[in-house]
Copies of this chain bind each other. A is one copy, B any other.
Amino acid sequence: MEDKFQLLKQHFEEIVPLTDEEWNFVQSHFEVKRLKKHQFLIQVGQPVDFEYWIIKGLVKAYSIDEKGKEHILQFAMEDYWVSDHYAFQHQEPGTIFVDCLEDSEFFCLSLENREKICFEVPAVANFFRIKSNYGYINLQQRILSLLTMTAENRYDYLINKLPKLIQRVPKKLIASYLGVSRETLSRFNS
């Protein structure tokens, strides 16, 4: 149990130093959650009470279009943050699904608690600021890749960037993440 909090502490301290007092305060605002493969973390229409830091496991965040087709917004594994950020921030019903591709374990942080620790502990505000900034940069890169690259190039790019992910995730889901049909992806040679 201590281990898990140790992991989270390390995650914070990669970005900002925290005193023991600060850390104890911060830590007390998280709770743990466990889910098995195929269980939902977030569902469309349901309240989104938390954002989640993944201790262990793998999830996919996705939306379903009118034709029932799944479009993957994000894969998230150990050391990643995931939520329906839009719904969470605005405290509105979920707009996407998030479910587990493997048995998973999370630290949960409510909006109220996040704001509390950010305004109470400046280093935490800076932590989330810097994290969020990196996230923003990554999404800009992904948008550029969607605008400028062919599906095959995006596939090659992903294989280089996240080789471990490819091992853990069925190719049909990779296809959905890349914005290409599974049949087309299957015809690429990589």
The residues of A with any CB-CB pair to B shorter than 8 Å are 63, 65, 71-74, 85-86, 89, 118-119, 122, 125-126, 128-129, 132-137, 139-144, 146-148, 179
Contact = CB atoms under 8 A, between A and B. Distances in A.
A72 B140 CA distance: 11
A145 B129 CA distance: 25
Given A118-B129, A126-B118, A139-B139, A179 B146 contact: yes
Contacts of A179: 146-147
A89 B125 contact: no
A73 B146 CA distance: 10
A71 B147 contact: yes
A73 B136 contact: no
B144 A73 contact: yes
Contacts of A142: 143
Contacts of A135: 132, 136
A141 B71 CA distance: 12
4 A-B pairs closest in CB distance: A122-B122, A139-B139, A129-B129, A132-B132
Contacts of A126: 118-119, 125, 129
A85 B137 contact: yes
Given A125-B122, A125-B129, A143 B89 contact: no
A148 B85 contact: no
Nearest to A118: B126
Nearest to A126: B125
A125 B136 CA distance: 16
Contacts of A134: 89
Nearest to A115: B126
A148 B95 CA distance: 14
